[in-house]
Structure 1
Amino acid sequence: MELTKAYKECENIIKEHSKTFHRAFSLLPGDQRRAVWAIYGFCRTVDDIVDESEFPEEELRVFEQEFSNFLNGQIDSSNARWVALADVFSKYDMNVQAFQDMVKGQKMDLAHRDYRTIDDVLDYSYHVASTVGLMLLPVLAPDNEKELRESAVQLGYAMQITNILRDIGEDLERNRVYLPKDVMSRHQYSEERLYERIGGEQFNAVWEELAGLAEQHYDAAMEKMHLYPVYSRPPVKGAAVLYRAILDEIRKNDYNVFSVKNYVSSREKDRLLSS
């Protein structure tokens, strides 16, 4: 497959599935922008296998073998995602372990892991979200990659907790609960009430404790933002700001995460990115 076409297919994937990330990372220069599209294509493939496939365990094993073949130089030239990613790996010193850890994180969903503590949630968040930041660092900040690793991990924590708090209703439909049991217990809220989609003060208190934790991680990630080069600082900061704004949208909607898909409007995104 022709390389330009492969990258375009990857861009279409991120444009369809994550308007926030597409909007933010479109600010990058051409090579870096296309690399982000390709890395997102990898992540989206794994995510779709776990969430949409009828036989996710089998498909994930096939995907892992394909990635192993990819790392050994056996590229499926008919698959746009592998073609684009191969070009990325040829240009940047990529963190292979981050890709492998991300797949490991997706397996946690297949295992229906029990989340008893905040540490359990952070471990999951590292594997499915912080790893994405670690994948992107060689592209976004090749000279300061090591210095920015902890910041990338922090931002991944923040964004994934935001995802969890936004997608509670959707996750319940898949019989997935990411709210840690000790936090629910602390606020006298039960998993039974969660499955019944009962809100109120106790649920709001659980939600706010986790939102506060996410905001702490956003703040921690921002402390190292100056270490990103000029070309990648605006998109990284923009993605963080736009994602953090989801929390305030949920607050505006009176914590309704059971029947409403909370999102930041295009007008609000424009305001946030220009401020």
Structure 2
Amino acid sequence: MGILGWLYLFVRHPDDVRTLVQYKLWYEPKRDITNPAEWEATGYNRKDMKRCWEFLDMTSRSFASVIKELDGDLARATALFYLALRGLDTVEDDMTISDEIKQPLLRSFHEKLQTPDWCFGGSGPNEKDRQLLVEFNVVIAEIALVQPEVREVIVDITHKMENGMADYAHKAVMSPTGTYIDDIEEFDLYCHYVAGLVGEGLSRLFAATGKEKSYIANELVLSNSMGLLLQKVNILRDIREDIDDSRFFWPKSIWESHGFKHPAELRDLDKRQEAIWVLSAMTLDALRHSVDALDYLALLRNQSVFNFCAIPASMAMATLALCFMNPTVFDRNIKIRKAQAVNLIMKSTNPRDVAYMFRDYARELHAKLVPADPYFVKISIACGKIEQWCEQHYPSFIVLRTAQGGRSSVSDRATGDARMRAVERHEKLLAAKASERGEVPPAPRQADDDQNVPIEFFLYVGLGMAIVFGFCAGIIVLVTRYTN
């Protein structure tokens, strides 16, 4: 970001400047895969694996950094799993490959993973990940070196995914309109093939490498929901780009019920209100996976695994809130601000904070609702389920605070929650019974009214004053030096 970019950010979003500066100064990658001490786990000293890490950076700017920070050999296993599926997806997405060549290639791709020195140079010259397939032999060579349990997961998930991709690719070719997602059920199945299976495979990798308990590999419903949440939000956000590329993933049953004869009509300004209702339906469909995602995150115990799963989930909820009721979605691809993404990365460290972020974005989304929306009630219920989940697992009237000595204390009167009346009645009842027995009644718990100003406040104030005085002093020096 250049100086003009920072100035624009300072004027429009001054809080973002602080967030980005904090991230630059204090956030450090937890792992350096190039460190010789990590070579045994990351394989960076091998030529083929080093090239695989380079392909990971080339094909995934968003996931590459979090994959590298996974513990031990899980990072290498996940990187190879990602590259195998990226190669498969590249074949499926390449419209320059004829269906006669694509079908057998897709349906036998899991066999290619076990065929030494196999590579593919038939992708179109403009295919962005073409080079991965040209040098796919390095991925195959490294898959052969991982432990058998990991290799079995990679091959099995690829086998399941390839058949689903082949079916939908063939259907797209045979359809004259290119609209090949008919209803919600088919949409769920498509997203299962391209993302839900990824969630299943990752869960199995977490268990196979010993980073999570073995039961996580059997949480197929929750793993699938995690994948579907991320995939559906991406499909929702990328509607304009997909329409321009003649790829129509929004279910026909949704947009057709609002009077559209073709998905491209969603861009028409004259039908913008109806398009917003279609967007509401897609938002509702994505929201129904959010509680499952929270349940899945609550099962994770390894910190690096939790971060790996929680960061994209938090970003998905932020993106969903940004896109909802936003007609710009139909005009261009929109994304959350960089500072917001950085803030999510720094906060997505434990289930409670992530749950609160889900809750806050659900509230933001609910605040945008209008009674005229045909999905008003259903979206309200979906947001309420997120609120209910958070309240059940992390009640809002129980606040954790840090007491003197660094130990955590519970202050359940930190808010004016009405439920505290029940607590107070219970305390009075205990005091009355103690008095009847001739005992000293327990003192009622006091609210934690510690209002000490954090040291960071004084640091920020001091820094701001130093900048102001320094600026004024500079002006005085320049004026006195160059004038009479």
Q: TM-score range by the shorter chain?
A: 0.7 to 0.9
The answer to whether the Cα contact below 8 Å between 1:129 and 1:157 also exists between their aligned partners in 2 is yes
Whole-Å separation in 1 of the counterparts to 2:290 and 2:245: 28
| Residue 83 of structure 1 pairs with residue 125 of structure 2 | no
Q: Indicate the residue corresponding to 2:267 in structure 1.
A: 197
Normalized per residue, the structure richer in helix is: 1
Q: Indicate the residue corresponding to 2:305 in structure 1.
A: 232
Q: Indicate the residue corresponding to 1:177 in structure 2.
A: 248
The answer to whether the Cα contact below 8 Å between 2:117 and 2:141 also exists between their aligned partners in 1 is yes
- Alignment of structure 1 residues 68-107 onto 2, 5 Å: 68-71=111-114, 74-76=115-117, 79-88=137-146, 90=148, 92=150, 93-94=152-153, 96-107=155-166
Q: Indicate the residue corresponding to 2:375 in structure 1.
A: none
Deviation at 1:49, TM superposition (A): 1.5
- Alignment of structure 1 residues 97-246 onto 2, 5 Å: 97-107=156-166, 108-112=168-172, 114-142=180-208, 143-186=214-257, 188-192=258-262, 194-195=264-265, 197-198=267-268, 200-230=272-302, 231-246=304-319
Max Rg structure? 2
Q: TM-score normalised to the size of structure 1?
A: 0.85
Amino acid at match of 2:117: D
C-alpha deviations, 1:185-217, integer Å up to 9, x for none?
33x241436346225221111112212221221
Pair 173,146 (structure 1): closer, same or farther in 2 beyond 3 Å:
same
The answer to whether the Cα contact below 8 Å between 1:102 and 1:129 also exists between their aligned partners in 2 is no
Q: Which is worse superposed, 95-104 or 145-154?
A: 95-104
Pair 63,209 (structure 1): closer, same or farther in 2 beyond 3 Å:
closer
Whole-Å separation in 2 of the counterparts to 1:189 and 1:20: 37
Q: Indicate the residue corresponding to 2:334 in structure 1.
A: 262
More RCO (CA 8 Å, sep 6+): 1
C-alpha deviations, 1:46-67, integer Å up to 9, x for none?
2211223521531452354453
Pair 181,8 (structure 1): closer, same or farther in 2 beyond 3 Å:
same
RMSD: 2.8
Pair 75,136 (structure 1): closer, same or farther in 2 beyond 3 Å:
farther
Q: Indicate the residue corresponding to 2:412 in structure 1.
A: none
Identical-pair percentage: 20
| Residue 29 of structure 1 pairs with residue 50 of structure 2 | no
- Between Structure 1 and Structure 2, how many residues are aligned? 271
**Paired residue for 1:250, among 320, 323, 330?**
323
Q: Secondary structure at the match of 1:201?
A: helix
C-alpha deviations, 1:31-54, integer Å up to 9, x for none?
111211111111111221122352
Whole-Å separation in 2 of the counterparts to 1:56 and 1:229: 45
Deviation at 1:10, TM superposition (A): 3.1
Amino acid at match of 1:67: H
Whole-Å separation in 1 of the counterparts to 2:110 and 2:58: 24
Whole-Å separation in 2 of the counterparts to 1:241 and 1:15: 22
Q: Which runs of 5+ in 2 are unaligned?
A: 1-43, 119-134, 173-178, 209-213, 348-484
Whole-Å separation in 2 of the counterparts to 1:155 and 1:172: 25
The answer to whether the Cα contact below 8 Å between 2:243 and 2:263 also exists between their aligned partners in 1 is no
Whole-Å separation in 2 of the counterparts to 1:207 and 1:23: 31
Amino acid at match of 1:81: V
C-alpha deviations, 1:217-243, integer Å up to 9, x for none?
132122122322314122111121123
The answer to whether the Cα contact below 8 Å between 2:323 and 2:329 also exists between their aligned partners in 1 is yes
| Residue 8 of structure 1 pairs with residue 50 of structure 2 | yes
